[in-house]
Amino acid sequence: MSKQKILVIEDERSIVEVLTYNLTHEGFDVISATDGQDGLRKAQRELPDLIVLDLMLPVTDGLQVCRQLRSDPKTQHIRVLMLTARSEEIDEIVGFNMGADDYVTKPFKMKPLIHRIKALLRRPASDSTNVDKVAVDGIEIDKLNHQCRIDGVEIMLTPTEFRLLWELARQPGRPFTRHELMDKSRGEDANALERTIDVHIRSLRQKLDPYADCVETVRGVGYRFRPQSASSN
């Protein structure tokens, strides 16, 4: 069985070295690049399973690299985990809009980062045929533009709340465990996120009013999305 391949695009050599060592120890085949232009070339040539991409890169920055990866049919399905020293929520949103699959700020802990990488690799690769919008009852979710509207009025969701709603709403009726929702959501520490999933769901329900009941608790499991129209049948 061939090893999964990870491309690290990062200009700090100390980070490249520690990532290469730990990911190789976990059984991955690791290649690296120290600027965005070289990283793009290696991505197109090697077609890795996942790219760890720094936001602040010489020659070509990380957002531009991500944009070009998503615009190229050869590389648009590659999972991208973005690294950045900036932690402002707006930077996270911009990263997602450019096509990043996950987002981690520096300094990071190695074990949670590896957990996030493995979680990403367990997900189906992005598919350009996937629908970027979901409309259920009066809820409209636009993944590409990171917007959510309730009865036509935009509401403001945090990146974690938005991702939770997107994952739940695009598979209505399917129960998700808290661990699954943790993997599909965002946060600095995956273990902390798992412990606070209920807090994020509570906040999400408040913002979805009058559609709060669409996010149902499944006892002993986790949560699922059930449209009001389905509940009334």
> How many whole angstroms separate alpha carbon 228 and alpha carbon 111?
40
Query: Is the CB of residue 130 less than 8 Å from the CB of residue 143?
Result: no
> How many whole angstroms separate alpha carbon 21 and alpha carbon 41?
23
Token pair, residue 15, equals: 């980070």
Could you list the pLDDT tens digit for every one of the 233 residues in the chain?
679 999 999 999 999 999 999 999 999 999 999 999 999 999 999 999 999 999 889 999 998 998 899 888 889 889 999 888 765 554 555 555 566 778 788 888 999 899 989 988 887 655 444 467 888 888 999 887 888 999 999 999 988 889 899 989 988 888 888 877 877 665 444 444 556 788 889 999 999 999 999 999 998 888 999 887 655 44
Beta bridge partners of 73: none
Q: What are phi and psi of 50, to 5 degrees?
A: -155, 145
Query: Is the CB of residue 91 less than 8 Å from the CB of residue 61?
Result: no
Q: Hey, how many other C-beta atoms are within 10 angstroms of the C-beta on 221? A: 12
Which amino acid type is present at position 53? L
> How many whole angstroms separate alpha carbon 126 and alpha carbon 216?
27
Verdict on whether the full-model pTM lies above 0.75 = no
Query: Is the CB of residue 74 less than 8 Å from the CB of residue 41?
Result: no
Map out the domains of the chain with their CATH numbers.
Answer: 5-122 (3.40.50.2300), 133-231 (1.10.10.10)
Token pair, residue 89, equals: 């929520």
How many residues are recorded in the chain? 233
Residue 129: closest CA among 76, 82, 81: 76
Token pair, residue 193, equals: 């996120």
Q: In 97-125, which positions are buried (b, 16+ CB within 10 angstroms) versus exposed (e)?
A: ebbbbbbbbeeeeeebbbbbbebbeeeee
Q: How far apart are the first and last CA of the chain?
A: 48
